[in-house]
Structure 1
Amino acid sequence: MTDTALERRALADRLEKSGVLTTPEWRAAVEAVPRELFLHPGVFLPVEGGRWRPVTAVGSDPAEWAKIVYSDRSLTTQLDGHLTADQVGDLVTGSPTSSSTTPFTVVDMVERLEVEAAHRVLEIGTGTGYSSALMCHRLGEDNVTTVEVDPAVSARADAALETAGFETWTVTGDGLLGHPRRAPYDRVIATCAVRRIPYTWIRQTKPGGIVLATVGGAWGHGTGLARVVVGEDGTAEGRITGRSSFMQARSQAAPPVSGDLSARTAYADTERQAEFPPTLLEEWMPAFLAQLAAPGARFVRAATREGAQLLYLYDPERESFAEFTAAGDAWTVRQGGPVALWDVIERDLTAWRDAGSPDISAVRLHITDRSHTYWIEDNPLLIWQHHVA
């Protein structure tokens, strides 16, 4: 195997210069753990047309492979829940289901955990195992438990961790349940996105402990990194620290909207001009707010046979919809079902705009065993409570 010590040191330098890497202990971990061990058998690189080019570690030029491994980007390692780069020899299509997150994101998250020596950490979403290895180096392998729902992904991560010299507690199963055998933990970190933080994670964290997870809906954007501290009373409170993007936890991933939406939206209760363009929901903070306001809604893009753009909000559980059509710079919205989705979202977008359009980091969060409450301070109109079924 090619020695990548220089690449690891260069990566640490970039992370430090960016302000993400701030502690000597984490720098030592970045310099010590070879990321390439956690990318076997290979990766998929995106190309035009929504396709993927497989690149395998074996057979690639060592210098080119090292350049890919230590690039500042996430690297897809699995498509459609089963396909790896060594199984194909040409361009393929598919949806990413496992990846090695960009080192900038990984290191930023572990730094935010504020770990101390001998802390026990539960990681939800082993993935390739690279972040697990960093934590094993920092805390010792006996203090790291990592959970992965996909047995094939877990097996590859275990092999990579063993090659790197670590034997941690790796659990294959439902990542939302955690691993109660070694609870309570001082820290819980999720390397997947969830629509809400499961209360089981709060229950398995010591009072004063930190839970760090990406929260939001199932849109693929408009999600935020939540950092909450667990209290003596079993609740947790904190804030959204900034934007964050991860693949959805499989047990919380919403299935794609299927069927003919035009048929489901044929009969509307109301029709009017939208006060905001629905394209605003393609921006990060408005999308986050929309998913707080209407957590069951899905944002769907489509087109007519003539090529005209159509946008939908559709809530399959409530059988409610909002359909948008463009007419020049204006948009018309048709709504139907028991919930007027765009009315709800538009009301909150108006309140957010009137409050000065605060960033996602202004959002606070409180978690109990019965509900999640989000709010923006000093704005009584900007509060959302999601009850846990």
Structure 2
Amino acid sequence: MTDPTTTTAERRALAARLAQSGALRAPAWRQAVESVPREAFLHPGVFLPEPRGRWRPVLADRTPEPQWARLAYSDQSLVTQLDGCLTPDQATTPEPVPGVPTSSSTEPALVLRMLESLEVAEGMRVLEIGTGTGYSSALLCHRLGEDAVTTVEVDPGVARRADDALEGIGVSTWTVTGDGLLGHPARAPYDRVIAACAVRRVPYAWVRQTRPGGVILSTLGSWAHGAGLAKVSVGADGTAEGRIVGPVSFMQARAQAQPPVTGDLAARAAYADCEREVRVPPTVLEEWTPAFLAQLTVPDAQLVHARTAGGEQRTYLFAPDRESFAEFVPDALASAGWTVRQGGPVRLWDQVEETLLAWRDAGSPGIDAVRLRVTETAHHYWLDGASAPSLRWEHALR
């Protein structure tokens, strides 16, 4: 494994790139990037992406130091675990393996953009949800001090590796194994809460454990794309209010992760109650803001892309809990090029389409036009300046 004392130049080069891109602004964060060795948090190795959803294991102690250093300081997220259990050293061969990423070292630019957005100051106490490799925890500790940071990780193996890595570079902070959605009341209140995972809603436990005037920064969304970075300030009345400050993508918090829609999708969508031409093509969901608004509209639905036995592309919305679906079928005769088949008690695409048409009428504002308010019983969302009822959402907390 690379000796951290030999990567000073790589750390400085990373900091320079982050500063040039605008992800790194504050001198104190630049000093942290130049001081904390990212490679120390990638042991025992990483998985690199290969075609067809496979991952190639790369081990730290079997990779030449210059190559490992280039990888550690590359501008990319590096997967460190698959399927909630498999680490690179546990792969039986060096050949690519299938799997779903469940832990990673996030792209440094995203890490620093979020840390900058947190607006910390000396003397603040921070709760981090999702320790992951521990790299961002180390940056926070360098900036604020070891005793100021509490970091929570749900996966015992991931937590243990992160704690070992932190101790390995001389950082002894408050590392906790547990469900981060519950926060960590033992060390509350906090001035800042930052989540390195996506959640379907901001847990009220985080609001309760944050001082009035404190800030919570968290990714909201459950689809693979189309999530938003929410930044809310906690009020003295126990509510939190703010806005979506930009697009972002993170792995889902495990307690809120939806099981994938599997099986014969054509059979699950075989019996439609209605079929019609779309007014808005489903391809609009490839854009970030429409995808986020669709999730606000049908928060329990999943977007699924698949192929039929004949190789034709199909797109679906499934809401298993409500036993409803929408299937999109290419149709050259339809004015928008698609028809939609819907089944079950809820017309999923009718609801989403109404939202997207209202969004277009409002001038198609960006995701940063979405505001939100969190109370003990519900999340309220709305678009700045929009009066249409379909551009206001209320999600009750269950």
Give the TM-score normalised by the residue count of structure 2: 0.96
CA displacement at 1:283 relative to structure 2: 1.6
Confirm or deny: 8 A CA contact 2:190 2:210 kept in the other structure: yes
1:174 & 1:68 partners in 2: Cα distance?
Answer: 31
For the pair 1:343 / 2:346, whether they are aligned, the reply is no
CA displacement at 1:286 relative to structure 2: 1.0
1:309 & 1:287 partners in 2: Cα distance?
Answer: 19
- 2:187 partner amino acid: R
CA displacement at 1:96 relative to structure 2: 0.4
For the pair 1:225 / 2:235, whether they are aligned, the reply is no
Match of 1:177 in 2: 182
- Aligned residue for 1:108, secondary structure, equals helix
1:369 & 1:200 partners in 2: Cα distance?
Answer: 9
Match of 1:87 in 2: 90
Match of 2:54 in 1: 51
Match of 1:256 in 2: 260
2:215 & 2:364 partners in 1: Cα distance?
Answer: 28
For the pair 1:297 / 2:311, whether they are aligned, the reply is no
CA-to-partner distance for each residue in 1:171-201, whole Å, 9 max, x for gaps? 1011101111110000000000001110000
- 1:388 partner amino acid: L
Which of 125, 131, 152 is 1:147 aligned to? 152
2:272 & 2:82 partners in 1: Cα distance?
Answer: 38
Match of 1:12 in 2: 15
1:114 & 1:302 partners in 2: Cα distance?
Answer: 42
Match of 2:378 in 1: 371
- 1:366 partner amino acid: R
Instruction: Extract unaligned runs of 5+ from structure 1.
Output: none
Alignment of 1:224-373 (within 5 A): 224-328=228-332, 330-373=337-380
Confirm or deny: 8 A CA contact 2:297 2:355 kept in the other structure: yes
CA displacement at 1:260 relative to structure 2: 2.6
Which of 196, 200, 220 is 1:195 aligned to? 200
1:309 & 1:18 partners in 2: Cα distance?
Answer: 37
Residue identity over aligned pairs, in percent, reads 65
- 1:10 partner amino acid: A
Matched residue count: 388
Which of 65, 87, 96 is 2:68 aligned to? 65
For the pair 1:383 / 2:392, whether they are aligned, the reply is yes
CA displacement at 1:265 relative to structure 2: 2.1
CA-to-partner distance for each residue in 1:120-176, whole Å, 9 max, x for gaps? 000000000000000001100001000000000000000000011111111101110
- Higher mean C-alpha displacement, 280-289 vs 138-147: 280-289
2:118 & 2:329 partners in 1: Cα distance?
Answer: 45
- Higher mean C-alpha displacement, 117-126 vs 373-382: 373-382
- Aligned residue for 1:339, secondary structure, equals coil
1:49 & 1:367 partners in 2: Cα distance?
Answer: 40
- 2:54 partner amino acid: R
For the pair 1:211 / 2:220, whether they are aligned, the reply is no
Which of 24, 30, 33 is 2:33 aligned to? 30
- 2:228 partner amino acid: G
Confirm or deny: 8 A CA contact 2:146 2:172 kept in the other structure: yes
1:300 & 1:18 partners in 2: Cα distance?
Answer: 33
2:309 & 2:143 partners in 1: Cα distance?
Answer: 56
- Aligned residue for 2:157, secondary structure, equals helix
- Higher mean C-alpha displacement, 84-93 vs 130-139: 84-93
- Higher mean C-alpha displacement, 169-178 vs 321-330: 321-330
Instruction: Extract unaligned runs of 5+ from structure 2.
Output: none
